[in-house]
Amino acid sequence: METRVTALPKLFIGIDIHKRSWKIHCSTDLFAGKSFTMPPEPEKLYQYVQKHFPDYQVTTAYEAGCCGYSAHRSFESFGWKSLVVNPADIHRKGKERHTKTDRIDAQLISRELKDGRLEGIIVPGKEREELRSLFRRRNELVKDLRRIKCMIKMQLLYFGIKVPPEFDNDHWSHAFRNWVDSQQFNYPTARETMASKMRTFRFIDKELRDVSSQLRAYCRKHFKEDYYLLRSIPGIGGIVAVGIITELGDLRRFSSLKHLAGYVGLVPGIYQSGATSRSMGMSPRCHGLIRSYYVEAAWQAIRTDPV
C-alpha cells in the first residue's frame, strides 16, 4: 500500500525579541522543540529553518514592543504566517508568573502558538505606521512644552517675581511672552537663564505648530473622507481626528461600538462572584492617549448639546 502525505508538518516558532539578540524556541506537532539564541536578523532564522525544517508550514509569533514590525514583515515575505501579540494576552500558569527569563518567554509564546490560543494585534501598513510616528512626535512636543512652561514659571517664582493676574493662566499670549522678556535682573547670568528658557519655549512652540499643521494637511489629502467625517462629529477637531486615524486606523474594522469602546478602554471593570458584584471603575487596559482624547472631545460636545 502506498503511503501519501496529505498535510504539511507544522513548525511553531516563539521569539523573544531584543535589540542585540533573539531567543528562539522551535516546536512542531510531534516534539516540544529546543531553544537557542541568534543574532537579530530574520534572514539568519530563515536559513536555519530552510536547513532543519525545509518542508514545514511555519508560523511565528513575538511580543509587540520597541522593535516594531520590521521582523513581522520580513517573516511574511518568506511566506510564513506571522503574529505580533499583546504581551498581556500570553497565558501564564501560576508558577510561571514568578519566573521570567528570555528562554521561558520564547517557550511560552511557542506553546500558546502551537495550542492555537494566540491572537495577533492589527499591524498597521507602513504609511499609517509612519504617520503615527509623526503624531506621537507631536505628543512628545506637547509634553516638552508643558515642561518648559513649568520651568519658566518656577524660575519666576524662585526669583520672587509675581506674574500679573491677567497673565496667570494656561494661555501664553504674546503679551505675556513679551512681559517675561522684559524682566530685569541684578546680574546678566539670571537674564541669560531666563532668555535661554524662553528660546527653548519658542522653539518647541514653533515645532508643535509646524508638526500639527503637517498632520492635518496630510490627513486632509490622503484620508480626506474619514478626516471630514470625524470632523463633522461635535467635539472632534482636527488633531483628535488625526489621532483617531493614526492610532485606531480604519474604524470600520470594529464590529460594534462596544468593540471600539473595549479597545480604547471606555468600559468599566467588573468583579462578580456569587451574590457579590461590584464595578471596578475604568478598565486599566486601554489606549491611554486616545481615551483621553475621547474624554476631552466628549466634554466639548456637551457644550453643543441642547439638552
User: DSSP of 169-215, one letter per residue?
Assistant: SS---HHHHHHHHT---SSHHHHHHHHHHHHHHHHHHHHHHHHHHHH
Contact (CB, 8 A) for 135 and 158: no
Both 57 and 102 in one domain: the answer is: yes
What is the pLDDT, as a whole number, of residue 6? 56
**pLDDT-based confidence at residue 92 (cuts at 50, 70, 90):** confident
Please state the pTM of the whole predicted model: 0.85
Q: How confident is the model at residue 280 (pLDDT cuts 50, 70, 90)?
A: confident
Mean pLDDT of 273-299: 86
CB-based burial, 48-69: b 16+ in 10 Å, e otherwise: ebeeebeebebbbbbbbeebeb
Distance between terminal CA atoms of the chain? 80
Q: Above 90 in pLDDT, residue 33?
A: no
- Retrieve residue 259's grid coordinates: 468593540
Domain match, 183 and 164 both: yes
103 and 16 in one domain? Answer: yes
Query: Is 300 within the bounds of a domain?
Result: no
- Give CA–CA dist 307/294, Å, rounded: 20
User: Domain check: are 71 and 134 in the same one?
Assistant: no
- Sign of the torsion angle spanned by Cα atoms 83, 88, 92, 98: positive
Beta strand 57-63 with 81-85 is: parallel
133 plus 55 within the same structural domain: no
Among candidate residues 168, 203, 218, the one where a domain is terminated: 218
Tell me, yes or no, whether 99 and 139 share the same domain: no
Identify whether residues 33 and 95 lie together within a single domain. yes
Examine residue 98 and state whether it is found in any structural domain, yes or no.
yes
| Same domain flag for 194 and 107 | no
135 in a domain, yes or no? yes
Q: Is residue 5 over pLDDT 60?
A: no
Give the domain CATH number at 90. Answer: 3.30.420.40
Question: 81 and 162 in one domain?
Answer: no
Q: Is 242 inside any structural domain? A: no
H helices present in the chain, as ranges: 42-52, 70-77, 102-115, 126-158, 174-181, 188-222, 224-231, 238-248, 257-264, 288-303
Domain boundaries, position 53: 10-115
In a domain, 277, yes or no: no
Which domain-ending residue is among 57, 84, 115? Answer: 115
Specify the number of domains making up the chain: 2
Question: Do both 41 and 67 map to the same domain?
Answer: yes
Residue with cell 497673565: 167
Query: Is residue 149 situated within a structural domain?
Result: yes
Rounded-to-integer distance, Cα 100 and Cα 103, Å: 8
Percent of the chain with pLDDT over 90: 69
User: Residue type for 231, please?
Assistant: R
Examine the domain organization and report whether 35 and 108 are in the same domain: yes
Q: Give the count of beta carbons closer than 10 Å to the beta carbon of residue 294.
A: 20
In the structure, what pLDDT confidence band is assigned to residue 35 with cuts at 50, 70 and 90? very high
In contact, 18 and 105? CB cutoff 8 Å: no
- Which of 115, 148, 166 is at the close of a domain? 115
